[in-house]
A and B are shown apart, each in its own frame.
Chain A
Amino acid sequence: MPAGRPGPAAQSARRPPPLLPLLLLCVLGAPRAGSGAHTAVISPQDPTLLIGSSLQATCSVHGDPPGATAEGLYWTLNGRRLAPELSRVLNASTLALALANLNGSRQQSGDNLVCHARDGSILAGSCLYVGLPPEKPFNISCWSKNMKDLTCRWTPGAHGETFLHTNYSLKYKLRWYGQDNTCEEYHTVGPHSCHIPKDLALFTPYEIWVEATNRLGSARSDVLTLDILDVVTTDPPPDVHVSRVGGLEDQLSVRWVSPPALKDFLFQAKYQIRYRVEDSVDWKVVDDVSNQTSCRLAGLKPGTVYFVQVRCNPFGIYGSKKAGIWSEWSHPTAASTPRSERPGPGGGACEPRGGEPSSGPVRRELKQFLGWLKKHAYCSNLSFRLYDQWRAWMQKTHKTRNQDEGILPSGRRGTTRG
């Protein structure tokens, strides 16, 4: 009996002959005795084929009275009538079909190949599965939330388009002992992800890989080896507060709390802050805030609303040497800088204690500050406190100047320290 010529990895879905139920059930393709109706059987039934391969199929008619003829039969594929030249009558009761260079299946439930009688009625059907075997999944990345679980994500090979339903299975095992385990909670952070909620060991490496399987074959990713402690992330820092620094019109103070889930664990958190002007989509990022829970943003525009977010990286947890995984950003917190008569210097950066001068406007100001320091300071030690004093002095002298010139009302003397 003619059959499709699949590629080397193809598996043709061979179905057993249809059962003839004892009950009053008529299955499409099974004859009904004494009814005068014709039915047919298509072969092969539900084949699986590689894209670009060929298919030869037959539709054999039988019925009551006997002598059903293939005359007038025709084929449709996914509802479209196939050209007559693709068919030929093999014998009195059998119509053959030859399809070449098959395209990938239009739907995952299979392409519907149907044999019709002359009057258009459906005699039989078969579903074609045309696609590709899976390619090797790659780019596996995993992270553990507060060391309690593990979530992994991967990229399917060939960007996932096999035209066939492809099953992805994340497997894991302890590197030196233990059996293979299979992740069970899929699609937790996207279509190619899985979540392992419990029973994970620390201080020992895991091997993790992904197996992809469809009707045409299977593929396995490279193995990723990791220790849970090296891929820890945490919740965003809670209780982020942003406030003004007294009357300083170009600064805001940001304070937050270390993520409580990790409070019992030994680690050196580092933080990142990002902020943007209310009407902008461009975030400015302040890196390497190191292990502190407050920071001051400087060089901001006066009279402007800023949104601020903070995230945490619990690197060095339990002595891990790896970089750790950044948490999600905290919910945005907003605050506004005080208004000023003179335009602000634009964007700035958060200065850590004793930190290096940063680029842009802050550097320019610090240069001025150093010049002032030479004249007024009795010690050459640089400190943020002295910088603040200078800034307050700058503001005071500017306001005094403006008062003298009638710009500001009198009585607004000095600044409040943040």
Chain B
Amino acid sequence: MSRREGSLEDPQADSSISPLPHLEAKIRQTHSLARLLTKYAEQLLQEYVQHQGDPFGLPGFSPPRLPVAGLSAPAPGHAGLPAPERLRLDAAALSALQPLLDVVRRHQAELNPRAPRLLRRLEDAARQARALGAAVEAVLAALGAETRGPPAEPAAAAAAAAVAAATAATDAGVFPAKVLGLRVCGLYREWVSRTEGDLGQLVPGGPA
């Protein structure tokens, strides 16, 4: 599919796609959700670094950006992909983020038990990641594109493996666990922001 096929105004769009107003509304709604969650993700990141102590909140702090199992940051070429492919990657990333955010919340519950706002934000972020991922998949379905992801069982196994790996990281020490949490919160912000951008290109009247 070409880039133009991602636009709602494409006259060559498949006639089997859901009625246009409904799709348009769905895209707008999901885009609004992504925009809101981008703001929340930024707040989560700020709250997170505050509770880990310096140097986490200091400008210039840059621990190694090590890959997290099953999830990486949006690739540099992401923006050049067709819209359905971008949305598929967004949905897959959001789905992978939910269990990782759960792991971070569990560990922070031990490290910062008197930080209820941080713990609540982490819990909310896990739910919101799942909700936004589901909403993006609904948009993909409405676009007539396959929500091509791995079959259910391998996906569940991949999620479990990611959680196990993240848990192993926390077993390696508190500092690595703090770094992992920072990485996960950072990835959450990046992917939610990326999703907002990808949906924004589909909103009629939005940037091409």
Asked if residues A78 and B67 are in contact (CB atoms below 8 Å), the reply is no
Residues of chain A contacted by B54 (CB below 8 angstroms): 78-80, 112
Name the residue of chain A whose CB is nearest to the CB of B176: A28
Residues of chain B contacted by A18 (CB below 8 angstroms): 171-173, 176
> Does B138 reach chain A (CB closer than 8 Å)?
no
Tally chain B residues at the interface, Cβ within 8 Å.
Answer: 36
Asked if residues B53 and A19 are in contact (CB atoms below 8 Å), the reply is no
Q: How far is the CA of A230 from the CA of B54 in the complex (A)?
A: 51
Q: How far is the CA of A15 from the CA of B170 in the complex (A)?
A: 10
Residues of chain A contacted by B178 (CB below 8 angstroms): 109, 112, 125, 127
Q: 1/0 per residue B79-102: CB within 8 Å of A? A: 000000000000000000000000
- Measured CB to CB, the closest approach of chain A to B111, in angstroms, equals 4
Residues of chain A contacted by B176 (CB below 8 angstroms): 18, 27-29, 125
Asked if residues B173 and A46 are in contact (CB atoms below 8 Å), the reply is yes
> Does B165 reach chain A (CB closer than 8 Å)?
yes
Asked if residues A28 and B64 are in contact (CB atoms below 8 Å), the reply is yes
Name the residue of chain B whose CB is nearest to the CB of A76: B55
Q: Which B residues between 72 and 130 are near A, CB-CB below 8 angstroms? A: 111-114
Q: How far is the CA of A196 from the CA of B66 in the complex (A)?
A: 47
Residues of chain B contacted by A19 (CB below 8 angstroms): 168, 171-172
- Measured CB to CB, the closest approach of chain A to B177, in angstroms, equals 9
Q: 1/0 per residue A22-40: CB within 8 Å of B? A: 0111111110000000000
Q: How far is the CA of A113 from the CA of B63 in the complex (A)?
A: 13
Interface residues on chain A, size class = 35 or more
Q: How far is the CA of A23 from the CA of B168 in the complex (A)?
A: 11
Contacts A23-B69, A25-B67, A28-B66; A114 near B165 (Cβ below 8 A): no
Q: How far is the CA of A394 from the CA of B131 in the complex (A)?
A: 78
- Measured CB to CB, the closest approach of chain A to B165, in angstroms, equals 4
Residues of chain A contacted by B145 (CB below 8 angstroms): none
Which of B55, B114, B161, B164 interacts with A79 by CB under 8 Å? B55
- Measured CB to CB, the closest approach of chain B to A18, in angstroms, equals 4
Residues of chain B contacted by A28 (CB below 8 angstroms): 63-64, 66, 172, 175-176, 179
- Measured CB to CB, the closest approach of chain A to B88, in angstroms, equals 21
Residues of chain B contacted by A21 (CB below 8 angstroms): 69, 164-165, 168-169
Name the residue of chain A whose CB is nearest to the CB of B173: A45
Residues of chain B contacted by A111 (CB below 8 angstroms): 53
Q: How far is the CA of A27 from the CA of B183 in the complex (A)?
A: 12
> Does A165 reach chain B (CB closer than 8 Å)?
yes
Asked if residues B53 and A25 are in contact (CB atoms below 8 Å), the reply is no
Asked if residues B112 and A127 are in contact (CB atoms below 8 Å), the reply is no
> Does B147 reach chain A (CB closer than 8 Å)?
no
Q: How far is the CA of A109 from the CA of B175 in the complex (A)?
A: 9
> Does B58 reach chain A (CB closer than 8 Å)?
yes
Contacts A106-B53, A109-B51, A111-B53; A46 near B64 (Cβ below 8 A): no
Binding site for B on A (CB under 8 A): 15-16, 18-19, 21, 23-30, 45-46, 76, 78-80, 106-114, 121-122, 124-127, 165, 167
Residue pairs across A and B with Cβ atoms less than 8 A apart, 27 shown, are A16-B171, A23-B161, A25-B165, A27-B169, A28-B175, A29-B173, A30-B172, A46-B175, A76-B55, A79-B54, A80-B54, A108-B111, A108-B114, A109-B51, A109-B178, A110-B53, A110-B111, A110-B174, A112-B52, A112-B175, A114-B175, A122-B64, A125-B176, A125-B178, A126-B175, A127-B174, A127-B178
Q: List 10 additional A-B contacts (Cβ < 8 Å) besides A110-B174, A126-B173, A127-B178.
A: A19-B172, A24-B69, A26-B67, A29-B176, A46-B173, A106-B53, A107-B51, A112-B178, A114-B175, A122-B64
